[in-house]
A and B are shown apart, each in its own frame.
Chain A
Amino acid sequence: MKTDDLINALAADTATQKRPISQTIALAIATGCIVSAALLIGHLGVRTGLVETIMQSWHLVTKIAFTLALAIPAYFIVQRAARPDGEAQSLWPLLAIAPAMLLAAVGFEFMTGANDDVSNVIMSPNWSVCVIHIPLLSMAPLAAVLCALKQGAPANPTLAGAFGGLFSAALGSVLYATFCDADNPMFVAVWYTVAILAMTALGALLGSRILRW
């Protein structure tokens, strides 16, 4: 095929314009978020007295702030990772905010010495509920994000998938945090991290398979 022939074909194909990729991603994420929120409300239910507890407990505030501090930068990184020239790396440092915050909270918790038994806090019976439900609540956002990224042209498919996984896990954690009543930063640092890293790895694996273009 001659290049001029290809130009004829491409020029005749102008009507099949897709909506801009940033809109596709935003729409997909909104959809995934609604599905997961419905799942949360229908299946788990928001914990009683959520608002009152936020007023009283810095643990709960830290937990929700941690998940939001992860989800928000991850969203903008996913937006950039979907484009060949997105240069997502310049936003990576923002992801350090959430772990730094959580580590500080864990340190503070140790210093105040309010916990007589650390292993009791970490191995609280909630841990299995947590590592199952965060991925569960992340599934719809992950599927939506990957479908949207498939429409894009990620410079690095594996990384784009990983950030898709990270974002959906962070979103799942935001939602789960409103149900789960294990608020101690040490519990969050262990089990939320495990769940989020697992979803990030899953995203990377799927991304390397399906996001090539």
Chain B
Amino acid sequence: MCAAIGGDEAAYRKLLADLSRALRPIVRRGFAGVTAAQSEVEDVVQEVMLAIHLKRHTWDQTKPIGPWIMAISRNKMIDDLRRKGRRGEVPIDGMMDLLEAGGHEDAIHAHDVNRVLDGLTGKNREIVQAITLDGHSARDVAERLGMTEVAVRVSLHRSLKALAQVYQETKT
């Protein structure tokens, strides 16, 4: 993570891949008895990873990263359970009160997220697709589309925040 914060893309990619593998059983265990659907588990894993990415400046680098990752995972799992309007057993301490705030029935699913990606306008969409589906680097995409690398990165970052916003909007 230190390397990733320093801008090392390869190290970050490896970290994220490891993280997704580590998170899957955690989320599955947290949702035991609530859902067994693989797609829902994967959804939450993605939401946690997105939060970890967008909030990585809240990790204090002098502290171990494990508790920080677990805290974000718990927070997102509770959010998800609350959205579904179900009470569930999430392995948490001192955060159950967050569950009290009542539930919204409008759970969002993978297709909502895909709709966000579909809803992106021409160039933004092209950028996100080139980077996500085809795995190109921001520099390659910039060259291909005749944009600056910075503009590509800004566009990508905005799209990621829009994605986080989709999760957010069903919460309030």
Contact = CB atoms under 8 A, between A and B. Distances in A.
A14 B9 contact: yes
B95 interface: yes
Contacts of A8: 13, 131-133, 135
B57 interface: yes
A167 to B, nearest CB: 18
A16 B135 CA distance: 18
A15 interface: yes
B8 interface: yes
Contacts of A4: 17
Interface in A1-26: 1, 3-22, 24
A19 B57 contact: yes
Q: Is the interface of A mostly helix, strand, loop or mixed?
A: loop
Contact of B114 (A1, A14, A20): A1
On chain B, which size bracket covers the interface?
A: 35 or more
Contact of A7 (B5, B16, B67, B75): B16
B46 A3 contact: yes
A11 B53 CA distance: 9
Given A14-B9, A16-B157, A7 B68 contact: no
Given A1-B110, A13-B156, A19-B57, A85 B71 contact: yes
Interface residues of A, number: 35
A137 to B, nearest CB: 29
B58 interface: yes
A96 B17 CA distance: 45
Interface in B45-80: 45-46, 49-51, 53, 55-61, 63, 67-68, 70-72, 75
Interface of B: 4-5, 7-9, 12-13, 16-17, 20, 42, 45-46, 49-51, 53, 55-61, 63, 67-68, 70-72, 75, 94-95, 98, 110, 113-114, 117, 128, 131-133, 135, 137-138, 153-154, 156-157, 159-160, 168, 171-172
Given A11-B12, A85-B63, A85-B71, 4 more contacts: A12-B137, A12-B153, A12-B156, A83-B71
Q: Which 8 A-B pairs have the closest CB atoms?
A: A84-B71, A5-B132, A11-B13, A85-B71, A153-B55, A18-B57, A7-B16, A85-B68
